[in-house]
Amino acid sequence: MIYEYAIDPAVAARFENLRLIAELFDFSNPRRISRFPKSWLREVYDLSRELGDRNQKMVEVKLAQISKEKNCIQKFSREYEPHTNWPENAVNSHQLTPFRGIICDGAGAAFVASGDVDSTHPQLNFSPPFRLEKTVENFMDVLGPVLATARELCFVDPYFRPQNRNCSDLFKAIFASLNARPDASEVYLRVCTFSGESSPYGTGGEARVITDMVNNCDLGNLQHKTHVVLCEANMHARYLLTDVGAYVLDHSFSESRGAILNISMMSWERAEETKKQYFGA
């Protein structure tokens, strides 16, 4: 549930455009600005200088808000040819792996013009909350872009039971996706679950959770960077907290055909507070 957008630095360098973009892009919704190319921020800043000191200063402030407070500029695994102009690079990359949208004032069927940047535009519109039937396939469709890019994944679920098939099949798919990444060794995995009277995990049960994940969910190389926290207090909420998006679920991470799951997103600030609540600093 992450939508990647390519934005021409020449468009973002004009404050009037960047202000409209900032209204739509936030950690609390699926829209993400692709760091395309890797030097995207610097290119926007450099181009903004050509439009005057006042424009540059306002763009600098807005870029800081988008990249830090909103945390919605993210790196995706895309090639960029430095000897080719930005619009052509965007089209070429889009043909290999489609962007959700390309914001650019050039001529192209895939482009959204700067004057058309609005939440009602078909390529910019989405309708939260997200609803899906609790099947492994649907979970993976929604989580696929997150699993492909997140460096840290924190699962909070009072009924996390990797030894149960309705849970293990889902996490087998999740861990297989993570282990297939070339940077899998850099992915951190955290789990917080209930350890009270009704739980199979009592005092010192953290190691048993990991063992159950290894034996039932094919944890693989992720085992070396997996951390488990057991919570004795009553837990009700279910979260997936990552560095690319944070999600609230109204049911557990498990397969249950016919059951409907509602998923909503959290702001960066709330996600950090929630992570601290369950996992500490």
pLDDT tens sequence across 69-94: 999 999 998 999 999 999 999 999 99
Residues 198 and 254 in one domain: yes
Q: Which residue has the tokens 């200088």?
A: 49
The answer to the question of residue 56 being in a domain is yes
The answer on 87 and 111 residing in a single domain is yes
Angle subtended by helix axes 40-49 and 53-64, to nearest 10: 160
Based on the fold, state whether residues 109 and 154 are members of the same structural domain.
no
Sheet strands side by side (includes 3-7) = 73-74, 31-34, 3-7, 101-103, 111-112
Q: Are 124 and 112 in contact (CB under 8 A)?
A: yes
| Rounded CA separation 16/20 (Å) | 7
125 part of a folded domain: no
Q: Looking at the structure, do residues 227 and 261 belong to the same domain, yes or no?
A: yes
Say what the pLDDT of residue 110 is.
82
pLDDT of residue 252 exceeding 80, the answer is yes
Question: Domain count of the chain?
Answer: 2
Q: Is residue 145 located within the same domain as residue 259?
A: yes
- Domain region containing 93: 3-116
Which runs of E-coded beta strand occur in 183-245?
188-194, 226-231, 238-242
Whether 93 is in a domain gets the answer yes
Residues 111 and 136 reside in one and the same domain = no
Torsion of CA 203, 204, 209, 210, to 10 degrees: 170
Residue 280: band (very low, low, confident or very high) from pLDDT cuts 50, 70, 90: confident
Could you tell me the CATH number of the domain that includes residue 158? 3.30.870.10
Nearby residues of 32 by Cβ (< 8 Å), 6 or more positions away: 2, 3, 4, 5, 25, 72, 73, 74, 244, 245
Q: Does 237 lie in the same domain as 185?
A: yes
271 and 144 within one domain? yes
Q: Per residue in 175-227, pLDDT tens?
A: 999 999 999 989 999 999 988 777 888 777 899 999 999 999 999 889 889 99
- Would you state the pLDDT for residue 233? 78
Residue 170 included in any domain: yes
**Is residue 112 within 8 Å of 119, Cβ to Cβ?**
no
Measure the CA–CA gap between 167 and 280, rounded to whole angstroms.
26
Same domain assignment for residues 68 and 19: yes
Cis-peptide, bond into residue 30, ω within 30° of zero:
no
Q: Are residues 106 and 147 in the same domain?
A: no
Closest by alpha carbon to 38, among 90, 84, 76, 7?
A: 76
Same domain for 202 and 76: no
223: which 2 tokens? 């085992």
Give the tens place of pLDDT for each residue, 130-147: 899 999 999 999 899 899
- Residue at a domain's end among 116, 148, 171: 116
β-pair partners for 154: 190, 241
* Domain shared by 108 and 140, yes or no: no
Q: How many angstroms separate the CA atoms of 219 and 221, rounded?
A: 7
Beta sheet of 256-265, edge-to-edge order: 130-134, 256-265, 246-249, 238-242, 152-156, 188-194, 226-231
Of 254, 260, 47, nearest in space to 168 by CA: 254
